[in-house]
Amino acid sequence: MIDFHTHTLFSDGVLNPSELVRRANVIGYRAIGLADHVDASSLDLVVPRIIKVAKELNRFQETVVIPGVEITHAPPAQIGYLVEEARRLGALLVIVHGESPVEPVAPGTNLAGIEAGADILAHPGFITPEEARLAARKGVYLEITSRHGHSLTNGHVARIALESGAGLVIDTDTHTPDNLITRDGAFRILVGAGLDDDQALSVMTTNEHLLRIFQERLSHA
């Protein structure tokens, strides 16, 4: 399993990074992204700490840890600045919390995250074909999620991505240890979103492709 979207006690997760990574390792994770929720109040506090623990964990255990953030509920007009600032601070993975159907995310957040060039637009809800085509052009990946509630629009996201040529990834949005899933579980979620077996395997290959990009970034960090 390769999962770019998890949370620790640096935001609203329940585990410290080391325990989260250990639990992921035990169920077969090859790589995990630590992407805690941030906004302008916490970005400069969270990023250095996640970078530090990721660096240490990558020295001592085999699951690759990617330090990142999830920009969450920021005003759309601020998202471009926050993405840029997260990268300046050293976050190797930048996720924008998309317009989930179960949270009051500001309209325009999906478009702002795509225009800012985030790596992943998480659970983008009822993303439009125009937004998805822009994501395809800018190399922003759309997320299929196992997260309860956010997953309600997985089928819509999958269909729009296939029609537009946008890339898809599969993540968990883990907050508690029971949210972690196996590779087989990820495959079932993708098929449940309406993808056929070949399309589901292609998404998992995209996760592998992204991992190689992040490993390259880690090697130069």
pLDDT tens, per residue, the chain with 221 residues: 999 999 999 999 999 999 999 999 999 999 999 999 999 999 999 999 999 999 999 999 999 999 999 999 999 999 999 999 999 999 999 999 999 999 999 999 999 999 999 999 999 999 999 999 999 999 999 999 999 999 999 999 999 999 999 999 999 999 999 999 999 999 999 999 999 999 999 999 999 999 999 999 999 98
Tell me how many domains the chain contains: 1
Cα 4 from chain centre: 5
What is the per-residue pLDDT for 101?
97
pLDDT for the residue 167: 98
Give the up-direction half-sphere exposure of residue 212: CA atoms within 13 A in the CB hemisphere.
Answer: 5
Question: Which residues are CB-contacts of 137 (< 8 A; sequence separation ≥ 6)?
Answer: none
**Where residue 200 sits, what CATH number does that domain have?**
3.20.20.140
> What is the model's pLDDT at position 171?
98
Instruction: List pLDDT tens digits, range 168-199.
Output: 999 999 999 999 999 999 999 999 999 999 99
Give just the sign of the alpha carbon dihedral 21, 23, 28, 29: negative
Q: Which residues, at least 6 apart from 210, have a Cβ–Cβ distance to it below 8 Å?
A: 2, 4, 119, 141, 169
- Residues forming beta bridges with residue 144, ordered by sequence position: 170
Element (H, E) at 202: helix 197-220
Residue-level pLDDT at 61: 94
Which residue segment(s) compose the domain that 16 sits in?
2-220
Chain center to CA of 51: 16
